[in-house]
Amino acid sequence: MIRTTLLLAVALFSGSLFSQMTGPVQSLKTTPDQARELASTITVEDMERHLYILADDDMEGRETGEPGQKRAAEYLAKQFAGLGLPAIGENNGYYQRILFTRQKWDNIELKLNGEPLRHLWEYASAPSQNTDRGTTRITELTFLGYGIDDEAYSDYEGKDVSGKHILIFAGEPVGKKGIYHVSGKDTISDWSNNNERKLQIAKEKGVETVFIIDPDFKTNVRNIRQETLDGRMRMAEQSEAERNTANVVYLTPQLARKMMGKAGKKVIKARKKMEKSGRSKSVTVPVNLELTQAKAVKELIGENVLGFVEGSDPVLKDEVLVVSAHYDHIGKRGDNVFNGADDNGSGTTTVLEIAEAFVTAKKQGLGPRRSVLFLLVSGEEKGLLGSEYYASHPVFPLDKTIADINVDMVGRVDDEHADNPEYIYVIGSDRLSSELHLINEHANKEYTQLELDYTYNAEDDPNRYYYRSDHYNFAVKGIPSVFYFNGTHADYHQATDTVDKINFEKMEKIGRLVFHTAWQLANQDRRIEVDVKK
Ligand SMILES: [Zn+2]
């Protein structure tokens, strides 16, 4: 038996060091010169050829679900076919198809005593949070405190709210001296910030609609306004039928007061009592409401494009390295095409070139020993949806997936590096595996000599880039991931992100660095280790 003090020391040790692994990387069967030779197939000329096509107006900004994205997918599949890669996708092709839905309100209306109220001003309701259900007449609300059901405090205990519409406060009850009834301390519990949990409980209890009185309405309405205007795209598997939350409408405190009318006094009294005693009290509130929540749901298909190079080692080939980039972008507005040359035509092109280098290796009988999946995803600009879909429907088992190398925006130079374009931001390499970090550092030192900038790898980086590209969907599954990124620029997400502004020399160098890191990961004897505990 190990002493607990020792265990604790080990745990602290592994979490606290930036990189405890030092010294050389594992040796390979191939020589550095052979690797250099393979990397030399990654060239400015090839990159130009791909990117001038991918960032052409003809691709219409490659918006997921739109014809331009389909054309881009076809182009990518053709490249993989041209490299002689097997068609491992659906229908003997190269695609993993994803069904997306875009939800909008067809009609959202709330009437009080026959008078329509103002959506997004007095009340707010998001299509993505509600089930489509036409018009509901409501003659009675049940005031149910905070809608909390916890061991220490419950608004539901002893109450039957099945089929009812409830009215609750946002947040949670706080008693004398600022002690919260749920936590028993002066700190809030999870309930304060987790409306989703309240809506799940409500659904479980058979509640029809939850009206939430939201003192921060003005702040919180922003997301709903955004969604109502844009129409949010999401994966179809999170469908209406599987929705586990009750329908919800947020109210300004002013509107809530108006709705409660005479019963308002009782509600305020009940709330005061609850705050004091820590015991919930419900109040019946007669109302005359008509709520219409009719949705327009549009279904779209997006494609992930799969390029697979099978490993040469009879045992190691069951393990897979993923090299990913998103190829979708944000489409067009009228005649204005958002070409997305840097975002992320550059990463897509880089992955195509790395695939070619691996195919060259295979033809020469040099490996790779492990298998490599070149994963070009769509849906990134819609919220990392393509990679999220892959991570939840992996083509190869995730426990055999050794790492994800993600390339997103590598063709430009940001203001911070105007004097030295030979740099790259490296994000996430040390978060799960100090060995991954070491391998990338080593590859750069040996082959590419770029400035590796870790500014955005800081855990407190306000930009949160670590959470903002596709590698993150692998990292959350515990798979070591690294993200290569050149930073943003004035053309980021503008129609001016065009191919003429791309620095191909720089891209070639980054492509070679990514190749060497991938080459090491795919060929070393021992699979890289996950050693950083979070
Ligand atoms: Zn983008």
Write the CATH number for 264: 3.50.30.30
Strand partners, 371: 320
290 plus 346 within the same structural domain: no
What is the DSSP secondary structure assignment for residue 457, as one 8-state letter? G
Are the C-beta atoms of residues 181 and 152 closer than 8 Å to each other?
yes
Distance 98 CA to ligand 1 centre (A): 19
Alpha-carbon distances, residue 284 vs 166, 185, 268, 276, 466 (angstroms): 9, 31, 13, 21, 48
Are the C-beta atoms of residues 146 and 190 closer than 8 Å to each other?
no
Identify whether 91 is part of a domain. Answer: no
pLDDT class for 483, splitting at 50, 70, 90? very high
Among 261, 276, 297, where does a domain finish?
A: 297
Distance of CA 92 to the CA centre of its chain: 29
Alpha-carbon distances, residue 109 vs 134, 160, 309 (angstroms): 10, 28, 54
Q: Could you report the per-residue pLDDT of 379-399, keeping only the tens digit for each?
A: 998 889 999 999 999 999 999
272 plus 409 within the same structural domain: no
In sequence order, what are the residues at sequence separation of 6 or more whose Cβ sits closer than 8 angstroms to the Cβ of residue 503? Answer: 411, 412, 413, 421
Distance 468 CA to ligand 1 centre (A): 9
Distance CA 412, CA 423 (A): 10
Q: Could you report the per-residue pLDDT of 292-347, keeping only the tens digit for each?
A: 999 988 888 999 999 999 999 999 999 999 999 999 999 999 999 999 999 999 99
260 plus 334 within the same structural domain: no
Distance 394 CA to ligand 1 centre (A): 23
Identify whether 303 is part of a domain. Answer: no
Distance 91 CA to ligand 1 centre (A): 30
267 plus 352 within the same structural domain: no
Identify whether 20 is part of a domain. Answer: no
Are the C-beta atoms of residues 410 and 487 closer than 8 Å to each other?
no
342 plus 286 within the same structural domain: no
Distance 344 CA to ligand 1 centre (A): 7
Distance 74 CA to ligand 1 centre (A): 21
Q: Which domain holds residue 220?
A: 103-297
Distance 52 CA to ligand 1 centre (A): 18
Q: Check residue 237 and give its pLDDT.
A: 61
Angle at 389 between CA 98 and CA 201, to 5 degrees: 110
Distance 78 CA to ligand 1 centre (A): 24
Q: Could you report the per-residue pLDDT of 362-381, keeping only the tens digit for each?
A: 999 998 999 999 999 999 98
ipTM of the complex: 0.94
327 plus 456 within the same structural domain: yes
Tally of domains in the chain: 2
275 plus 399 within the same structural domain: no
Write the CATH number for 506: 3.40.630.10
pLDDT class for 208, splitting at 50, 70, 90? very high
Among 297, 330, 362, where does a domain finish?
A: 297
Give the DSSP H or E segment for 78. helix 67-82
116 plus 59 within the same structural domain: no
403 plus 512 within the same structural domain: yes
467 plus 326 within the same structural domain: yes
368 cis-preceded (ω within 30 degrees of 0): yes
Handedness of CA 397, 403, 409, 410 (dihedral sign): negative
Tokens of 10: 């080990």
DSSP string, 311-323: -SSTTGGGSEEEE
Helices and strands (DSSP H and E) totals, the chain: 13, 17
Tokens of 101: 């839905």
- Checking if the pLDDT of 8 tops 70, the result is no
